[in-house]
Amino acid sequence: MKNRTCKALSSLLLALVLVFSLASCGDTADDGGKTYTVGICNYVDDASLNQINENLQARLKEIGEEKGITFRISYDNPNADPAVMNQIISNFISNEVDLMVGIATPVAMAMQAATEDSGIPVVFSAVSDPVGALLVDSLDAPGGNLTGTSDYLNTDAVMKLIFAAQPQAKKIGFLYDLGQDSSATPIAHAKEYLSQRGIEYVERTATNADEVILAAQALVQDGVDAVFTPTDNTIMKSYLAIYETFVEAGIPHYTGADSFALNGAFLGYGVDYANLGRKTADMVAKILLEGKSPAEVPVMTFDNGTATVNTETCVALGFDFAEIEKLFTPLCTRFQSITTAEEFGDLEG
């Protein structure tokens, strides 16, 4: 009787151990620490999104070393091809990743649709309007299985910078992709701002590299005094091919990310994308290591008051850099300069 009782207790104990082992997230590494697999899909190869990815992965490595765990990264980039993007996400699901990261709105939306039944948590990064894109119920209480970081753009602030540098500007050009969710709200706000002040605006849109070049040339022919582009990945991807078009025409281009200024635009205004990438990694760690549900982790927004001016373009346009710094500094929380390069890693210091 005693032996039978002991065997029963042993079987119960073994069953409990198996249950807890199966319930725990992640695998066990050779050194005894946990290993978590994170699938990262970056929408397109451009300076802003690449900067997010690089800092996201670097921060996850730091956290892993601090906590004695391993983040196994599965990274891919569909280069804005929806079919390839959906296949990447399907592969993440098949490989049973512990969490997915979607960099940019189209990836986040695709991950949301793909994970409705799987329950895999999703952390998005650089989504300009997560509520408007119906990714979350609200910034404070996301709901569902998604949360993340937003690069919301304060369009009015950019407009104020335009008229600080060019108080006599009469016609503003918009250059963006109609299909980019990140552009919809900022363009609507820009139209409202200019309409209230009786300022004329012209829209030119593009969906691929050839159209971007043609749209830039058309804005020059339109005789605009300045051009505004939000955090638009289609324009960003092709920007090195068009920035000289505006510089040679003497037209300042005001944009929604410092990466545009890196690639030759007069001004990039917005969030620090390196910091955004690191904060995205912190959210990944919070969910995986602390057992938090995305539904209860608020969407993170940032002070987007950093104005980045390309000094080479500034001079080529005939501005005095010291005067621009004097005009812009009271209108932003941080002012910085940059010179033209293809990637942030190409810059010195």
Q: Are residues 49 and 127 in the same domain?
A: yes
Identity (one letter) of the amino acid at 325? E
For the chain, the domain total comes to 2
Within a domain: 10: no
Q: Are residues 238 and 336 in the same domain?
A: yes
Tens of pLDDT, residues 253-266:
999 999 999 999 99
Q: How far apart are CA 302 and CA 197, in angstroms?
A: 28
Could you list the residue range(s) of the whole structural domain that residue 221 is in?
155-271+304-346
Q: Are residues 174 and 318 in the same domain?
A: yes
Mean pLDDT to the nearest integer, 214-223: 98
Looking at residue 26, its pLDDT comes to 60
User: Does the pLDDT of residue 3 top 60, yes or no?
Assistant: no
Rounded alpha-carbon distances, angstroms, from residue 172 to 73, 166, 233, 343: 43, 11, 21, 28
Say what the pTM is: 0.80
User: Does the pLDDT of residue 343 top 80, yes or no?
Assistant: no
- Look-up of token digits 């066990």: 28
Looking at residue 119, its pLDDT comes to 85
Within a domain: 19: no
Looking at residue 7, its pLDDT comes to 38
Check: CB of residue 240 under 8 Å from CB of residue 263. Answer: yes
Higher pLDDT, 32 or 2: 32
Check: CB of residue 308 under 8 Å from CB of residue 338. Answer: yes
User: Does the pLDDT of residue 94 top 50, yes or no?
Assistant: yes
Within a domain: 12: no
Q: Are residues 33 and 50 in the same domain?
A: yes
Mean pLDDT to the nearest integer, 146-173: 96
Q: Are residues 145 and 187 in the same domain?
A: no
Q: How far apart are CA 244 and CA 240, in angstroms?
A: 8
User: If 0-12 CB within 10 Å is exposed, 13-18 middle and 19+ buried, where does residue 337 land?
Assistant: middle
Q: Are residues 167 and 292 in the same domain?
A: no
Looking at residue 30, its pLDDT comes to 45
Within a domain: 23: no
Within a domain: 1: no
Give the pLDDT band of residue 181 (cuts 50, 70, 90). Answer: confident
Q: Are residues 224 and 292 in the same domain?
A: no
Within a domain: 64: yes
DSSP notation for 128-179: S-TTTTTS-S-SS---TTEEEB-----HHHHHHHHHHH-TT--EEEEEE-TT
- Look-up of token digits 């299909």: 179
